[in-house]
Each structure stands twice: as C-alpha cells, then as structure tokens.
Amino acid sequence: MTVSNKDKVKELIKTKVSLAPMAGITDFMMRDLIRKYTKDSLLTTEMISSEFLRQVKGNVIEKKNEKSSPVSYQISGHKPQMMADAAKYLEQFADMIDINMGCPVNKVVKGQDGCALMKNPQLATDIVKAIKEVINVPLSVKFRLGYTFEELNYVEFGQKMQEAGADFITIHGRTRSQMYSGNADWEKIRLLKDNVDVPVFANGDVNSIETAEECLAKSKADGVAIGRGTLGDLSLIYRIEHYFKTGEKLPLPTIEEKIEQAIAHLNYEIELRGENTGIKFMRKFYPYYISKIHQATKLRSKLMVSEDLKEIYEILNIIKQKKEPII
Ligand SMILES: Cc1cc2nc3c(=O)[nH]c(=O)nc-3n(C[C@H](O)[C@H](O)[C@H](O)COP(=O)(O)O)c2cc1C
C-alpha cells in the first residue's frame, strides 16, 4: 500500500514542532546535536542553493549529509528546472523538500530567490509544479506575510502554492521589509490557516514553551517552527515537543547543562572541522550558551578570542561551576 503525501506529512509533523532552516547554523552538526534530544521532530537543513548544488553535485553534499530522519532539505533558487534537479538529487537524503520563499537578504532577493518569489507567484507556482513532477517525498514551502506591509499577499500566495502541489507550509509572521525587526504577527497567520487545507507551521519569535503555546493559540497553526531559540539551547525543541505531548514543563537547562552542551558542541566542531577552524567556528555560538549568566561577561569575551583549546576548556569549566541562577 502506498502512503499518501498527506499521511507522510502528518507523520513528519506529529510533534507539532520543527527546527527552522538557518544558513550557517542548521548544518548536519547542529542537527545532530539537537537530534540527541528529540528523536521525532522535523529538522530542516540550511538552505542549499540549487545553483551551487548544480556545480558540486555528487561531491560535497553527498559526503557530508547523512540522513538523520525526519529531515527536510531546503533549497533556494528561481529556475524551475534547476530547482527540480536539486530536489530530485536531494530526495535521496530527505523526508521532505522545502522551498525557500522567505529569505529577505538583499543578495538573495536581487537574484529573484527567497522572498522575491512572493512578488512573482507565477514563477513560484512553476517551481512547485516542476519539483512535484520529479519527487516522491512531500514538498513544503516557507514564506513570509508578504514583501512589504502594502503587499500582504500571504493568504492568496499560500493558496496558489497549495494548488500547485505544496503539501505543507511554514510561515514566518513578518514581511520581507521587516527583515527581523519588530515582532512576528502570530494572529495574522490564522487567516492563512483558515484558508488552506494543508498543514501550516507558524514561525517567528518562539523561544520557550510559553511562547510556543501562545503562538499556537493565536495562529491556530498546526505547529511551530523554531530558529533562533535553539541557539544555545539544544533541548528547546524537545522540551516543547514533550510539553505538547504530555503537558509537563521540563525545567530550563541549568548553567551546568548549558556549558555541557557548549562543550559537546565545541568537541563536535573540532572533530569535524579540525581544531583551528572548529575553535573559530564555535565563536558565533558562545554568546548564546553563555548569556544571562551572572558575571560571565569577561570570561565570555576571553573565549571569543582564545585560540588555545586548553584555555577554552578551562574557561568553560569555570563558568560551569557558577552556582548563581541564570539572570
Ligand atoms: C542566521 C539565520 C539564518 C537563516 N537562514 C534561513 C534559511 O537558510 N532559510 C530560511 O528559509 N530561513 C532562514 N532564516 C529564517 C529562519 O528560518 C526563521 O524564519 C526566522 O529566524 C524567524 O524564526 P525565529 O524567530 O524562530 O528565529 C534564517 C534566520 C537566521 C537568524
């Protein structure tokens, strides 16, 4: 018996929480680290440019990405055939393919990729149709409320994507012109939810059990997608998943647990990137692991420049001993 895409999506989003794609962040290491906590939540890759993939096909991606189900591979681009080729290639690793229609960054939208597709629904439709023709896993789209507040076309756009064949939608409750400023508008998402049949995940500013609950109450979405909240908090997705399943609020990680997460993360970066690159790559994550910890500012600043692994472990262990509560 073949399983329909509708049922496949249902299974993939059953925890009602997913990891949103973040370029430079949600690589296979970050996903592996989060996967240690959650077995079932859908984790999305960083966006993978269809143009880039065409050049490296069968090389970098194939070697580096092992399937760690359930995983959604996000692709970016604007050429239907190239996007279909990318999706077809990535399908071997993926439980779902996602199309980036929300990235607000200048160089992305200038090339007609990301959120620029919201200004060109016909091209977005052509891309969805081209990909649907060649893949068997479900296809999702991720977009924003619109390009600007004057062009809030998210409901009509979502309907068009559904008609073209999208099986699932993630929507970030901001416009492209907002970039990441202001607050995500969870209430507006409800109008989309009311007007499409495919499941919808709400995204933007969910960073705790409480905000996840509030976001679902306001948006009536089927679940939440979380990006920045997972930085420095690898168990967040699991805690929310657990809360939705059982009603139990697991405690926030202690300082000790946060530093243990940071050390595990550092070790993984070093194992896979080598000591020098791993140490440097890790610097972007320290501010998140070591935030709101009393009198840790100086130690954190030292971590950001140290190239000596022994010293880095020492600093992390000093912070780990801090008994003051997180402020
Ligand atoms: C560093 C960074 C990189 C991002 N990269 C992507 C991306 O590759 N594809 C995408 O669709 N969204 C990307 N986003 C947007 C996030 O997926 C998400 O929509 C946004 O951060 C709002 O959710 P949050 O408040 O939970 O972080 C990125 C966001 C950040 C902060």
pLDDT tens profile 116-174: 999 999 999 999 999 999 999 999 999 999 999 999 999 999 999 999 999 999 999 99
* Region of poorest pLDDT, from 4-8, 92-96, 322-326: 322-326
3-class SS of residue 166 = coil
pLDDT band at 40 (very low <50, low <70, confident <90, very high): very high
For residue 327, pLDDT over 60 is answered with no
3-class SS of residue 140 = strand
224, β-bridge pairs: 17, 202
Measure 1 CA to ligand 1 centroid, in angstroms: 37
Domain 5-246 architecture: Alpha-Beta Barrel (3.20)
Query: pTM score, two decimals?
Result: 0.96
Give CA–CA dist 34/45, Å, rounded. 12
* Contacts made by residues 294-297, CB under 8 angstroms, sequence distance 24+: 294/322, 294/324, 294/325, 294/327, 295/322, 295/324, 296/322
pLDDT tens profile 234-263: 999 999 999 999 999 999 999 999 999 999
Candidate of 99, 145, 172 to mutate for ligand 1, largest count of ligand atoms within 8 Å of Cβ:
172
Ligand 1: which residue has its CA nearest to atom 29?
Answer: 22
Bridge-based pairing state of the strands 223-226 and 71-76: unpaired
Instruction: Please give the number of the atom of ligand 1 that sits closest to the Cα of 114.
Output: 11
74, β-bridge pairs: 47, 98
Q: Compute the radius of gyration of the chain from its Cα atoms.
A: 20
* Ligand 1 binding pocket, CB closer than 6 Å: 20-25, 46-47, 74, 100, 102-103, 142, 172, 203-206, 226-229
Measure 184 CA to ligand 1 centroid, in angstroms: 12
215 catalytic, yes or no?
no
Ligand 1: which residue has its CA nearest to atom 11?
Answer: 100
Instruction: Please give the number of the atom of ligand 1 that sits closest to the Cα of 21.
Output: 17
Measure 92 CA to ligand 1 centroid, in angstroms: 24
Average pLDDT for 40-46: 97
Give the per-residue pLDDT at 297: 86
Give the per-residue pLDDT at 2: 82
Give CA–CA dist 22/227, Å, rounded. 7
- Exactly one of 34, 86, 103, 171 is catalytic; which is it? 103
Give the per-residue pLDDT at 65: 60
Instruction: Please give the number of the atom of ligand 1 that sits closest to the Cα of 142.
Output: 11
What fold characterizes domain 255-321? 1.10.1200
Contacts of 210 (CB under 8 A, 6+ apart): none
Give the per-residue pLDDT at 305: 95
- What are the structural domain ranges in the chain? 5-246, 255-321
Measure 26 CA to ligand 1 centroid, in angstroms: 10
Measure 324 CA to ligand 1 centroid, in angstroms: 32
Give the per-residue pLDDT at 131: 98
